[in-house]
Amino acid sequence: MKATSRREKLTRVMESCPIYGITGGNRDVVPLVKDMLSAGIRIIQYREKHKTPVLRYQEAMVLRQLTSAYHALLIIDDYVDLALAVHADGVHVGQDDLPPNTVRRIVGSDMLIGWSTHSINDLKCANRYQNIIDYIGVGPVFSTQTKPNAHPVGISYVHWAKQFSKLPIVAIGGIKTSNVESVWNAHPDFICAVSEITDSPNMQETIYELLSEYVNVR
């Protein structure tokens, strides 16, 4: 599959709902993802770093069935072997993981690859991989308990990334309904509000609030 075809998948889910869902928090993964999908999210990243390989495999297999039923994309965080094992739509890797060109050789031409960036230099490097990876993570925008030791990059980096990235961008890190307007004003392709969604007592309402400002800036 050519890069253009892979990115058509991203465009489809972005037009449906520009919220990038990630598992986490205190809720069980399967009910959480069911709620995300029911609320309209169409791209799910399975990120469970502290579970055993067999449990990750079992959960990811269930999520593969769920996301397929909703015509949603399943992205596996970090674990390239798991992404291949469950026939995921993509894999997301960070700066300390396997380099993107190695990941591409392993997963082949059909799978989406996302890559996290935290600085201008990271993004310039991502642009050099524009035919290998398919989207980039930009963050953490604000301080976040999901990655408490990570230094926030701020809204200015999101603006810069949108202007100079050759790939779609996902703004992530500390994004809440209270600050999402400033993030949308930087025009990312997706936003990811991890704890705001996973800890929400009313996910449908939270996603509606996160999207309300998206409509205003488009």
The whole-angstrom separation of Cα 161 and Cα 173 is 15
Residue 176 lies in a domain: yes
Q: With a cut of 50, which residues of the chain have pLDDT below it?
A: none
Q: What is the pTM of this model?
A: 0.94
pLDDT 10s digits, 105-128: 999 999 999 999 999 999 999 999
Residue 218 lies in a domain: no
CATH of the domain at 106: 3.20.20.70
pLDDT at res. 148: 65
Residue 26 lies in a domain: yes
The whole-angstrom separation of Cα 43 and Cα 126 is 21
Residue 146 lies in a domain: yes
Residue 84 lies in a domain: yes
Per-residue 3-state assignment (H helix, E strand, C coil) for 87-141: CCCEEEECCCCCCHHHHHHHHCCCCEEEEEECCHHHHHHHHHCCCCCCEEEECCC
pLDDT at res. 178: 94
Residue 217 lies in a domain: no
* Domain region containing 89: 3-212
Residue 85 lies in a domain: yes
Domain count, the chain: 1
Residue 82 lies in a domain: yes
